[in-house]
Amino acid sequence: MTIRTRFAPSPTGYLHVGGVRTALFSWLFARRHGGSFILRIEDTDLERSTPESVNAILEGMTWLGLEYDEGPFYQTRRFDRYNAVIDDLLNRGLAYRCDCSHERLSSLREQALRQKDKPRYDGFCRDRNVDANQPHVVRFRNPDDGAVSFDDLVKGPITVSNQELDDLIIRRTDGSPTYNLSVVVDDSDMQISHVIRGDDHVNNTPRQINIMLAMGKEPPHYGHVPMILGSDGARLSKRHGAVGVMEYMTAGYLPEALLNYLVRLGWSHGDREIFSLDEMIQLFDIGDVNRAPSTFNDEKLSWLNQHYLKEGDPLRIAHLLGSHLGRLGIDPAEGPELVDVVKAQRERAKTLEEMAEISTFIYRDFEDYEPNAAKKHLRPVARVPLETVRAALSSQDEWNPEALHRLIDEASGRLELTMGKVAQPLRVAVVGRAASPGIDETLFLVGKAACLRRIDRALDYIRQREMAG
């Protein structure tokens, strides 16, 4: 069998992380089996579909590196094909026109709910000869007897009686095809062998199989992936935080971290947590996907992202960090080499955004000292150590971490103080807080002129404290 999978999002909003996980599972399945992965834009909802949403889908797929072999295909460009299939079904008596009013349909629904039945169309127009020139919809004539059975790749065997299924609308009054018709035609025409999608579609599958069979086509294999939940047990949504994939890019997450996290949401390979993309392709099996929903955990994602920040190529991380500094109004060219910043900060940040924020001291003077740090370290007792180090730094020509480390070590020896007694006041003076990379790296990154300027400011601060008693 030639494996062909597809990702078919609707362009009615941002690219949701749940959709990305579905795309990833479909992509991995195709890649592992030497198949093809197709991108299809299901934009038949003309009122809600937007070009901006299409761009968000394409940008997200590009950022994640989920390259597609065919597409993107747009359903709005295939209306002639859908209408040809609908007309064929009408001609063969497998579909019919329906002009039931909204009031009649609402009454049917209300009656079913009162009787605690499942709302369904009663087939009133099945044998009526509705005028094709009058407003109407077209309904698929669902089989009356028998059942639809399929072996779900995730959930296992599923059987649904045809008596539970009603006659779906497959063409609206305005002439546009509906989702359940267009998706079946596309899957057939594009020779999709495996449909991997969210389990919110599982109720559509028996209906789509019946339409596929009415077309004389063999249905694909289906696998329905459980939904992703927020920490409160509700379906993951905007109120849980960032759920659009490009929001994670903006927040400074790496695509490999997000993919690694999403593949582990509902799938596992032993107790292993870290997977490269090549390892995912080698190991992924759709049959190993859990049937139960998964809960999104921001802390776990951040942990993975920090792993990839620490283990990734510093040059690549530096390239990505530049735009995050730019958002803070910082020109990275007006400072040290970005790769040196990355090497100094990658153990301290969980995202690129955080790395940029904790690196602002390198590029510009801070406004205020962190109160507790200043209170503890910028005391009168720190004045002489700071004056001693300042004098040494002012005459220091060799400005690199090794030389600066020796300078502070020698100053500490002359003062008969531990290195920490000198380094901590110096760190607060230069950074404004008690946490930073090693003091030698910190001084190197900040640069000579800024270090001397900030030490002078700290000495003024200490003198003011001395005067205040």
- Residue 44: per-residue pLDDT: 85
DSSP helix/strand/coil, 194: strand
Residue identified by tokens 């500094």 is 325
Q: With contact defined as beta carbons under 8 Å apart, do 344 and 309 qualify?
A: no
The percent of residues in the chain predicted with pLDDT above 90, rounded, is 93
- Residue 465: per-residue pLDDT: 87
- 177: CB partners within 8 A, 6+ apart: 44, 79, 82, 83, 86, 170, 171, 185
238 is an active site residue: yes
Which residue among 238, 343, 376, 448 is the active-site one? Answer: 238
DSSP helix/strand/coil, 225: strand
Distance CA 150, CA 156 (A): 8
- Residue 273: per-residue pLDDT: 95
Averaged pLDDT score across all residues of the chain: 95
**pLDDT band (50, 70, 90) for residue 466:** confident
Q: Is the pLDDT of residue 231 over 90?
A: no
The percent of residues in the chain predicted with pLDDT above 70, rounded, is 100
- 185: CB partners within 8 A, 6+ apart: 78, 81, 82, 85, 177, 215
Q: Is the pLDDT of residue 239 over 80?
A: no
Element (H, E) at 4: strand 4-7
Whole-angstrom CA distances from 143 to 95, 221, 287, 359 are: 11, 21, 31, 66
**pLDDT band (50, 70, 90) for residue 281:** very high
pLDDT in tens, 65-78: 999 999 999 999 99
**pLDDT band (50, 70, 90) for residue 242:** low
At 355, which amino acid appears?
M
What values do phi and psi take at 430, rounded to 5? Answer: -90, -35
For 148, the token pair is 């639809």
> Mean per-residue pLDDT for 208-222?
98
DSSP state string for 109-160: HHHHHHTTPPP----TTTTS---TTSS-EEEE---SSSEEEEEETTTEEEEE
Residue identified by tokens 């579609």 is 201
Return the exposure string of 87-96: e unless at least 16 CB atoms fall within 10 Å of the residue's CB, then b: eebbeeebbb
**pLDDT band (50, 70, 90) for residue 243:** confident
Q: Which of 38-47, 181-190, 401-410 has the lowest mean pLDDT?
A: 38-47
Q: Is the pLDDT of residue 45 over 90?
A: no
**pLDDT band (50, 70, 90) for residue 375:** very high
Whole-angstrom CA distances from 127 to 93, 138, 171 are: 10, 13, 18
Distance CA 427, CA 439 (A): 6
Q: Where are the alpha helices (DSSP H) in 160-266?
A: 179-189, 204-214, 245-250, 255-263
Distance CA 407, CA 398 (A): 10
> Mean per-residue pLDDT for 146-164?
97
- Residue 234: per-residue pLDDT: 87
DSSP state string for 272-339: -----HHHHHHH--GGGS-SS-EE--HHHHHHHHHHHHHHS-HHHHHHHHHHHHHHTT--GGGSS-HH
DSSP helix/strand/coil, 220: coil
- 60: CB partners within 8 A, 6+ apart: 15, 20, 245, 246
> Mean per-residue pLDDT for 204-226?
98
Total Cβ atoms within 10 A of residue 81: 15
Q: Is the pLDDT of residue 240 over 90?
A: no
- Residue 378: per-residue pLDDT: 96
Q: Is the pLDDT of residue 469 over 70?
A: no
What predicted TM-score, i.e. pTM, was given to this entire model?
Answer: 0.92
Q: Is the pLDDT of residue 221 over 70?
A: yes
- Residue 133: per-residue pLDDT: 96
Whole-angstrom CA distances from 277 to 8, 373, 452 are: 22, 43, 47
pLDDT in tens, 95-112: 999 999 999 999 999 999
Total Cβ atoms within 10 A of residue 336: 17
pLDDT in tens, 425-439: 999 999 999 999 999
Q: Is the pLDDT of residue 52 over 70?
A: yes
Distance CA 447, CA 435 (A): 18
Q: Which of 20-24, 45-49, 142-146, 164-168 has the lowest mean pLDDT?
A: 45-49
pLDDT in tens, 316-358: 999 999 999 999 999 999 999 999 999 999 999 999 999 999 9
